[in-house]
Amino acid sequence: MDFYGFYTGKIFDAYQFLGAHIEAGGVAFRTFAPGASRIALIGEFTDWQELEMHRIYDGNFWECYVPNAAPGEMYKYRIYRQDQSCVDHCDPYGFGMELRPNSASYIRSLSDYSFQDSLWMQKRSDCKDKPLNIYEIHFGSFKKPSEEADDWYTYTEMADILIPYLKEYGYNYVEIMPLSEHPCDESWGYQNTGFFSPTSRYGTAPELMEFIDRCHRSDIGVILDFVPVHFAVDGYGLANYDGTALYEYPHQDVGVSEWGSCNFMHSRGEVRSFLQSAANYWLTEYHIDGIRMDAISRVIYWQGEPARGVNNTAVAFIREMNQGLKALHPSAILSAEDSTSYPGVTRPVGEGGLGFDYKWDMGWMNDSLDYFRTGPAYRTEQYHKLTFSMMYYYNDAFLLPLSHDEVVHGKAAIMQKMHGAYDDKFPQARAFYMYMYAHPGKKLNFMGNELGQLREWDEKREQDWDILTYPIHDAFHRFMKDLNHIYLEHPAFWQKDYDTAGFFWNDCHQEERCIYALTRTADKERILAVFNFSDQEQEDYMLDLAGAHTLTLLLASDAQEYAGTKKYDKTVLQLEEGRAVFSLSAYSAAYYRID
């Protein structure tokens, strides 16, 4: 290992030296604990008796070689502090961990699985000029074998269940909430103890590798949530690891996050090397296609509050990590969950940016959902909540998210957010989703949204698949399937997402009628999207489309097959001198190919 690089926060491969590594005839264990007075290795191979570890290099690293240790066996580090008290810790760089409430690390080989996804890896890209339709899931609650809260499908079983669903319903990427080991189910993986350990809830490291490999061989990319901001407070983890604040801030005012977890101290080179190595580990060893970094606002600003000022050392860390990861994995996707207006989140580091490929457009999400919560009588006043996003859209490369965060903690499910009674919610949701998919930017939708689910997400329960026995939910599910495939198959929706030539407002000044019209453009295709978000039918709506001769209907939200009210016998409209005339159902949307 490059020790100087480790201390200065420049390396991305610390996990190849630190941790438990299988060597000829045994296993070498190494840990970084400069504040420890003594460290003993305990494990199954010693019947949990202490085996002394020895200082190496500059005395801040500890090492022990065990000839009879074998893959699959458990171990811990018993770290003695300066006052001679001791705490048993899991390995910060361990490649596997026990399921909570147990906390031992596992010896694991990273070479037990051989990937067969070379074709995928060669053609993989950041999707800037390609479709990116992401299905976000919590691995343990997509589907469950039983109603027991801690009964889960394995990584292998989920490959059989999830991959056919993604293919059939038109998602080409899956984003998985954190799979690194965590002690509290309710944290959803966002408070980690094992940054290099795939959670044992769902199986082993080779089984996760197989899941990802099978996704790739089905042309599905895999994005993993990664948490570079904070970690769990559990005493066997990173907190106070060597008797000192090795990974966290020593001061409580900045050392504790709003979630009660420990904030990483990004000014320490050892912490930067740890986090960079963890991110690189998932991309390298598991062939993950992208990393979505959580809570980036808490990196940019102290405690996430702009009034406290920019955390310059943390911002420098993000820049250097992103730049390094893109150098190692040019085709991997790096996205930021960031609700701030901090400039240049997706600009290259060399141009003064943070170096992300995508930024979640939280402004679009909030404005759009607020609009659809609003009663139709008041949408005239709120009309430009749906146009405002295009005023800032080209400042960054945005991704449009309807994530898990929008369907928990009293916020209501997406379908519930639609204004009005039960029957009014479905046509509005169909029209809303067509607006989302016509709007520039890549797409992300959380599991259950596509069912028209009416309850908030609960990590202890699977999705309400039984609601598909109700015709209106089944029709909505079928609508979402068709919308997804329309998106994937038509370049106008994605080829020029970040080119001003790819989008045009045909009409965004129908405040009284709540009508909007826009055109999406690709090299060889133009698509018109027309929306009526009022609760009244809008007849004789005229639109001038210069140079257009015909409009061919691609998708209509009010079609009878989707539980709408219209039967579309005529799918091609002939235009006279480029003028189109529409009769728009209440709460409706339609896509037309322009010829």
pLDDT for the residue numbered 455? 95
Burial (0-12, 13-18, 19+ Cβ within 10 Å), 117: middle
Give the pLDDT confidence of 443-482 residue by residue, as tens digits: 999 999 999 999 999 999 999 999 999 999 999 999 999 9
Catalytic residue among 126, 289, 294, 497: 294
CATH code (residue 63):
2.60.40.10
Tell me if 493 sits within 8 A of 487, measured CB to CB. Answer: yes
Average pLDDT, the chain: 96
Rounded alpha-carbon distances, angstroms, from residue 161 to 61, 168, 561? 44, 12, 27
59, 77, 106: which is the final residue of a domain?
106
Query: Does the bond joining 427 to the residue before it have cis omega, within 30 degrees of 0?
Result: no
Task: Report how far residue 119's alpha carbon sits from residue 184's, in angstroms, rounded to the nearest whole number.
Answer: 38
pLDDT for the residue numbered 569? 85
**β-pair type (515-522, 525-532):** antiparallel
Give the pLDDT confidence of 490-518 residue by residue, as tens digits: 999 999 999 999 999 999 999 999 999 99
Instruction: Give a yes or no: residue 231 inside a domain.
Output: no
pLDDT for the residue numbered 571? 86
Give the pLDDT confidence of 131-186 residue by residue, as tens digits: 999 999 999 999 999 989 889 999 999 999 999 999 999 999 999 999 999 999 98
pLDDT for the residue numbered 36? 97
Burial (0-12, 13-18, 19+ Cβ within 10 Å), 577: exposed
Task: Report how far residue 306's alpha carbon sits from residue 367's, in angstroms, rounded to the nearest whole number.
Answer: 21
Complete DSSP assignment for 100-145: TT---EE---S-S-----HHHHHH----TTS--EEEEE-TTTSS-S
**What letter represents residue 4's amino acid?**
Y
CATH code (residue 569):
2.60.40.1180
Q: b/e map of 239-260 (b: 16 or more CB within 10 Å)?
A: bbbbbebbbbbeeeeebbbebe
- Helix (H) or strand (E) holding 194, with range, is strand 194-198
From 379, 382, 381, 508, select the one nearest 438 (Cα to Cα). 508
Q: How many CA atoms lie within 13 A of 227 on its CB side?
A: 26
Is residue 595 pLDDT above 90, yes or no?
yes
Q: How many CA atoms lie within 13 A of 249 on its CB side?
A: 20
Q: Which two tokens stand for residue 138?
A: 């919590």
Instruction: Give a yes or no: residue 325 inside a domain.
Output: no
Is 464 a catalytic site residue?
A: no
Is residue 253 pLDDT above 80, yes or no?
no
Q: How many CA atoms lie within 13 A of 194 on its CB side?
A: 30
Is residue 407 pLDDT above 90, yes or no?
yes
From 419, 327, 320, select the one nearest 374 (Cα to Cα). 419
Is 294 a catalytic site residue?
A: yes
Sign of CA dihedral 200, 203, 209, 214: negative
Give the pLDDT confidence of 527-544 residue by residue, as tens digits: 999 999 999 999 999 999
Q: Which two tokens stand for residue 533?
A: 């978000």
At residue 220, the 3 state secondary structure works out as coil
Enter the pTM of the model.
0.96
Give the pLDDT confidence of 408-454 residue by residue, as tens digits: 989 999 999 999 999 999 999 999 999 999 999 999 999 999 999 99
Task: Report how far residue 261's alpha carbon sits from residue 227's, in angstroms, rounded to the nearest whole number.
Answer: 12
Task: Report how far residue 89's alpha carbon sits from residue 78's, in angstroms, rounded to the nearest whole number.
Answer: 6
Instruction: Give a yes or no: residue 67 inside a domain.
Output: yes
pLDDT for the residue numbered 90? 97
**What letter represents residue 560's amino acid?**
Q
Our count of domains for the chain comes to: 2
Task: Report how far residue 246's alpha carbon sits from residue 144's, in angstroms, rounded to the nearest whole number.
Answer: 39
Q: Give the angle subtended at the CA of 377 by the CAs of 372 and 383, to the nearest 5°.
A: 55
From 341, 442, 435, 429, select the one nearest 383 (Cα to Cα). 435
pLDDT for the residue numbered 445? 98
Task: Report how far residue 160's alpha carbon sits from residue 140's, in angstroms, rounded to the nearest whole number.
Answer: 15
Query: E strands along 382-458, which residues?
Result: 398-402, 442-446
pLDDT band at 51 (very low <50, low <70, confident <90, very high): very high
Share of the chain above pLDDT 90, in %: 94
Query: How confident is the model over 193-198, as a mean pLDDT?
Result: 96
303: phi > 0 → left, psi -120 to 50 → alpha, else beta; which? left
Catalytic residue among 285, 337, 357, 406: 337
- Helix (H) or strand (E) holding 583, with range, is strand 579-584
From 462, 438, 424, 439, select the one nearest 558 (Cα to Cα). 424
pLDDT for the residue numbered 406? 95
Complete DSSP assignment for 530-558: EEE-SSS-EEEEEEE-TT--EEEEEEETT
39, 73, 106: which is the final residue of a domain?
106
Q: Which structural domain, as residue segments, surrounds residue 583? A: 500-594
Long-range contacts of 511-514 (CB under 8 A, 24+ apart): 511/380, 511/383, 511/384, 512/380, 513/538, 513/541, 514/376, 514/379, 514/380, 514/383
Instruction: Give a yes or no: residue 446 inside a domain.
Output: no
Instruction: Give a yes or no: residue 258 inside a domain.
Output: no
Show Cβ contacts of residue 224 under 8 Å, excluding neighbours closer than 6 positions: 175, 176, 178, 179, 282, 286, 288, 290, 291, 292
Q: Which two tokens stand for residue 260?
A: 């009660």
Instruction: Give a yes or no: residue 243 inside a domain.
Output: no
43, 78, 106: which is the final residue of a domain?
106
pLDDT band at 66 (very low <50, low <70, confident <90, very high): very high
Q: Which two tokens stand for residue 108?
A: 């694991």
Query: Which residue is listed with tokens 């257009």?
Result: 548
Instruction: Give a yes or no: residue 76 inside a domain.
Output: yes
**β-pair type (262-263, 230-231):** antiparallel
Instruction: Give a yes or no: residue 187 inside a domain.
Output: no
Query: How confident is the model over 565-579, as a mean pLDDT?
Result: 89
**β-pair type (442-446, 398-402):** parallel
From 272, 283, 274, 249, select the one nearest 91 (Cα to Cα). 274
**β-pair type (290-293, 221-226):** parallel
pLDDT band at 222 (very low <50, low <70, confident <90, very high): very high
